[in-house]
Amino acid sequence: MKIALIGYGRMGKTIEPIVLQRGHEILCRVDVDNRADWLKPEKLSAADVAIEFTTPESAVDNILACFEAGVPVVCGTTGWLHRWPEVAQRCREQNQTLVYASNFSLGVNLFFALNKYLAQLMAAYPQYEVDIREIHHTGKKDAPSGTAITLAEQILQRISRKKQWVNRPAERPDELSVISERVDPVPGIHVVKYSSAVDEIEIRHTAHSREGFALGAVLAAEWVKGKKGIFSMEDVLGLK
């Protein structure tokens, strides 16, 4: 496959060798300096798939550029989901393809499945208070992380006594606390904890490097080629 790397920062540079090791070709490496040149339909359309890891400010424009070029896009940028309805509508109207995940790590997506199951079990036990903690490197631009938001939304869907997540200590019983810490050089730690007066139950995912995220993104790019629609890593991994 010919892959367009949109975003050539830490993640783009981690994805690049995995793309090459798996026998694919890098069509282009798009960054702020050459973005205007490459994100044109006549150039971008030569790609089989685009992998997009940039910033919340540029992600939507990049995704829409891929739609215009008729190129499936795998997006791992977080912090832009307030514009999700617009992007989803455009994807469907133009019969295009998007794989979005807040985290492409295989381990994290298994962690998501575990989080959903545990929340379903804990819904019947109000004596347990639940909270989330996430720790990332200081270069991460959004807080809480997209992964933490996904974990929080999964819990809210299953524990009715929790109505909203907040990025601070909870002040009301219906709030789910998500605490964000930024510490170098941590790639990513997520902890979901249920606490009662007598014990605690905790699940935790620790990323040791970015390679896990990068491999998942490349696997998603391989999986989505030739498909139409909006997909998640649950689709890619067969977890639905």
Known binding residue 37? Answer is yes
Known binding residue 54? Answer is no
* Residue 228 to residues 39, 73, 75, 196, 223, Cα–Cα distance (Å): 21, 11, 15, 46, 11
Residue 136 is a catalytic residue:
yes
Known binding residue 77? Answer is yes
From the list 2, 140, 141, 208, the catalytic residue is: 140
Residue 2 is a catalytic residue:
no
Known binding residue 104? Answer is yes
7, 30 Cβ separation under 8 angstroms:
yes
Known binding residue 205? Answer is no
List, edge to edge, every strand of the sheet that includes 164-166.
Answer: 164-166, 175-182, 129-136, 188-195, 200-207
Known binding residue 146? Answer is yes
From the list 136, 162, 190, 205, the catalytic residue is: 136
**Alpha-carbon torsion 107, 110, 116, 120, what sign?**
negative
Known binding residue 137? Answer is yes
Residue 155: Cβ within 10 Å count: 25
As beta bridge partners, residue 131 has 177, 193
Residue numbering of the annotated binding site: 37, 40, 76-78, 101-104, 137, 146-147
Residue numbering of the annotated binding site for NADP(+): 40
Residue numbering of the annotated binding site for (S)-2,3,4,5-tetrahydrodipicolinate: 137, 146-147
Catalytically annotated residues: 136, 140
Residue numbering of the annotated binding site for NAD(+): 37, 76-78, 101-104
